[in-house]
């Protein structure tokens, strides 16, 4: 007698009464990325919204360029540019209410700035000065997350806790296509769906996880299709169409806030610059591919659509660029100022109450700093005496 022949043994064929828990059809993404600019529906977009989106896109492009230049000048240790992905970043920064939370990855400094974070504070972590550089609770922006996808379970936990408390809060978590290959991604989506948590996942599919193309990470029809396996809707959107990204995210946030549960949004975009300033992207992608995506530039797409509706002219473009230059000049000036750092701040914001080990380490560092200061003072005094 085999194992399957024993009474009560598991059999791979489900019983006749088996039915799926939910209908999968409404959860499936569209066959093609959703687009809004250049379609008849674009006429219904608020002119004020388009103007704001345009201003933020132009400022974001200049912010990326200035931050990249700061790495060459030694003012930043590293900078992962989001040039080409500004539409995803700007839309993510603008769709949330003040009470909501943004959970960015390391590449999402622009999203944090669009949400209102000081541009210098957004770069402090990359400068190596602080653990984060800003108060996450004050800004409702979680620390920029360098480990891939670890911010996603945190976003689910916060959203679930808010729901249990009865708070009207939504969490928007950003991740790259490479992050979807991490276990944290799958765990976060599973918990979010089971708990019906008010969280939105935005996957910025920019084609590469550093040098690994998407085709070597997954065989799924799209990353948005992964949502179905967890029981949440998947949306596929043109990540360079800022109006489309903003609309899809707005709908997902509204659904989450209304008790509809989580949504997975895949924005198809492209990383024009290298992975970071330390990367040589020419080793794994041809220039022709980059140039093809430049023709689908998010700023140009929006400007063409706004000009067609007579919402933008040369003067409007010039005003947006001048605003961006003022942002870059302020960023450049403040980043060239050497920060005044207190080594003892290393022990701040680690735990609410310091552990015994941290207290011991802090006391040891304080003793070393006091001894160094005393030695410097003695040397100065003796030098004065000799003179």
Distance of CA 174 to the CA centre of its chain: 4
Do 291 and 329 belong to one domain?
yes
In the block, residue with structure tokens 């920019």: 206
The predicted structure's pLDDT at residue 385: 35
The separation between CA 362 and the C-alpha centre of its own chain, rounded to angstroms, equals 34
Q: What is the DSSP string of 322-368?
A: HHHHHHHHHHHHHHTSPP---GGGGGTTS-SS--HHHHHHHHHHHHH
Looking at the structure, tell me whether residues 330 and 195 fall in a common domain: yes
Provide the pLDDT confidence category of residue 130 given band limits of 50, 70 and 90: confident
Is 17 part of any domain?
A: no
The mean per-residue pLDDT over the stretch 187-199 comes to 97
- Residue of 284, 326, 349, 366 marked active site: 284
HSE value, Cβ hemisphere, 13 Å, CA-based, for 69 = 13
One domain, residues 203 and 139: yes
Identify which of 120, 186, 112 has the alpha carbon closest to the alpha carbon of residue 142. 112
Query: Looking at the predicted structure, is the pLDDT value of residue 5 above 70?
Result: no
Within this chain, do residues 160 and 213 fall inside the same structural domain, yes or no?
Answer: yes
Instruction: Give 183-189's long-range contacts (Cβ < 8 A, gap of 24+).
Output: 183/149, 184/148, 184/149, 184/150, 184/152, 184/153, 185/149, 185/152, 187/152, 187/153, 188/149, 188/152, 188/153, 188/155, 188/156, 189/152, 189/226, 189/227, 189/230, 189/232, 189/262, 189/264
- Is residue 356 domain-resident? yes
Let me know whether 246 and 290 are in one domain. Answer: yes
Q: Could you tell me if 97 and 142 lie in one domain?
A: yes
Where does the pLDDT of residue 278 fall: very low under 50, low under 70, confident under 90, or very high at 90 and above? confident
pLDDT at 383 over 50: no
Residue 343: C-alpha distances to residues 74, 143, 297, 311, 332 (Å): 21, 21, 44, 52, 25
Give the pLDDT band (50/70/90) at residue 201: very high
pLDDT mean over 110-121: 96
Among candidate residues 75, 160, 246, 275, the one labeled active-site is 275
Give the model's confidence band at 384: pLDDT under 50 very low, under 70 low, under 90 confident, else very high: very low
Between helix 242-257 and helix 298-308 the angle, nearest 10°, is 100
pLDDT band at 2 (very low <50, low <70, confident <90, very high): low
The verdict on residue 381 lying in a domain is no
Domain count, the chain: 2
Dump the DSSP string for 9-24.
Answer: ---SSPPTT---SS-S
Output 350 or 268, whichever has higher pLDDT: 268
Per-residue model confidence (pLDDT) at position 378: 52
User: Sign of the C-alpha dihedral, residues 238, 241, 244, 246?
Assistant: positive
240 and 360 share one domain: no
77 has a pLDDT exceeding 50:
yes
- Confidence grade of residue 17 (pLDDT, cut at 50, 70, 90): low
Angle at alpha carbon of residue 148, lines to 112 and 191, rounded to 5°: 90
Q: What is the C-alpha to C-alpha distance for residues 143 and 135, in angstroms, rounded to an integer?
A: 9
What's the average model confidence in pLDDT over 175-188?
Answer: 97
Question: Do 199 and 247 reside in the same domain of the chain?
Answer: yes
Same domain, yes or no: 288 and 235 = yes
Instruction: Indicate whether 18 belongs to any domain.
Output: no
250 & 358 share domain: no
Report yes or no on 296 lying in a domain: yes
Mean pLDDT value of segment 94-103: 97
380 confidence band (pLDDT: 50, 70, 90) = very low
Q: Is 52 a catalytic residue?
A: no
Average pLDDT over residues 17-37: 87
Looking only at the bridges linking them, the beta strands covering 171-176 and 101-103 are: parallel
Same domain, 252 and 365: no
Over residues 186-215, mean pLDDT: 96
Q: Does 10 participate in catalysis according to the annotation?
A: no
Q: Is 34 a catalytic residue?
A: no
User: In which band, very low, low, confident or very high, does the pLDDT at 6 lie, cut at 50, 70 and 90?
Assistant: low
Is residue 166's pLDDT more than 80? yes
Of 167-176, 241-250, 340-349, the range with the lowest mean pLDDT is 340-349
End-to-end alpha carbon distance in the chain: 102
Give 28's pLDDT tier (boundaries 50, 70, 90).
Answer: very high
21 domain-assigned: no
Average pLDDT over all residues of the chain? 91
**Of 86, 16, 26, which Cα lies nearest the Cα of 55?**
86
pLDDT class of 381 with cuts at 50, 70, 90: very low
Q: What is the CATH number of the domain that holds 225?
A: 3.40.50.970
CB 27 within 8 Å of CB 232: yes
Give the integer Cα–Cα distance in Å for 134 and 122.
Answer: 8
What band does 366 get if pLDDT is binned at 50, 70 and 90?
very high
Structural domain containing residue 351:
341-372
pTM of the model: 0.88
- The tens digit of pLDDT for each residue in 316-338 reads 999 999 999 999 999 999 999 98
| Nearest CA-CA partner of 104 in 139, 54, 68 | 139
Confidence of residue 128 (pLDDT cuts 50, 70, 90): confident
| 378 located within any domain | no
pLDDT for res 386: 34
Residue 12 maps to a domain: no
Report the pLDDT value the prediction gives residue 348, as an integer from 0 to 100: 84
Catalytic residue of the set 61, 235, 246, 271: 271
Q: Residue-wise over 128-145: b if at least 16 C-beta within 10 A, else e? A: eebebbbebeebbbbbbb
> Do 171 and 269 share a domain, yes or no?
yes
104 near 145, Cβ under 8 Å? yes
């Amino acid at each position: 007698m085999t194992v399957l022949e024993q009474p009560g043994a598991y059999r791979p064929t489900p019983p006749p009464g088996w039915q799926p828990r939910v209908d999968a059809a409404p959860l499936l993404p569209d066959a093609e990325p959703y687009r809004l600019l250049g379609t008849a529906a674009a006429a219904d977009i608020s002119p004020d919204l388009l103007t704001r989106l345009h201003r933020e896109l132009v400022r974001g492009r200049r912010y990326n360029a200035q931050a990249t230049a700061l790495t060459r000048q030694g003012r930043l240790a590293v900078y992962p540019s989001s040039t080409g992905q500004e539409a995803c970043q700007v839309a993510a920064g603008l769709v949330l209410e003040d009470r909501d939370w943004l959970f960015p990855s390391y590449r999402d400094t622009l999203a944090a700035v669009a949400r209102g974070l000081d541009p210098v504070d957004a770069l402090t972590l990359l400068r190596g000065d602080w653990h984060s550089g800003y108060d996450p609770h004050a800004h409702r922006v979680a620390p920029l997350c360098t480990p891939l996808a670890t911010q996603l379970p945190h976003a689910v936990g916060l959203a679930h806790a808010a729901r249990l408390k009865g708070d009207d809060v939504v969490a928007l978590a950003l991740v790259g296509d490479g992050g979807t290959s991490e276990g944290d991604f799958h765990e976060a989506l599973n918990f979010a769906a089971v708990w019906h948590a008010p969280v939105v996942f935005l996957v910025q599919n920019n084609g590469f996880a550093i040098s690994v193309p998407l085709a070597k990470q997954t065989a799924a029809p799209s990353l948005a299709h992964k949502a179905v396996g967890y029981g949440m809707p998947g949306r596929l959107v043109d990540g360079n169409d800022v109006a489309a990204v903003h609309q899809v995210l707005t709908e997902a946030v509204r659904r989450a806030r209304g008790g509809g549960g989580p949504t997975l949004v895949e924005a198809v975009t492209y990383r024009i610059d290298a992975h970071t300033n330390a990367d040589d992207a020419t080793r794994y992608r041809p220039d022709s591919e980059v140039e093809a995506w430049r023709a689908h530039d998010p700023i140009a797409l929006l400007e063409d659509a706004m000009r067609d509706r007579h919402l933008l002219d040369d003067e409007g473009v010039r005003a947006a660029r001048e605003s961006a230059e003022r942002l870059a000049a302020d960023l450049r000036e403040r980043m060239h100022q050497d920060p005044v750092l207190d080594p003892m701040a290393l022990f701040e914001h680690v735990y609410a109450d310091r552990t015994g080990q941290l207290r011991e380490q802090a006391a040891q560092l304080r003793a070393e700093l006091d001894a160094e200061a005393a030695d410097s003072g003695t040397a100065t005094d003796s030098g004065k005496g000799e003179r």
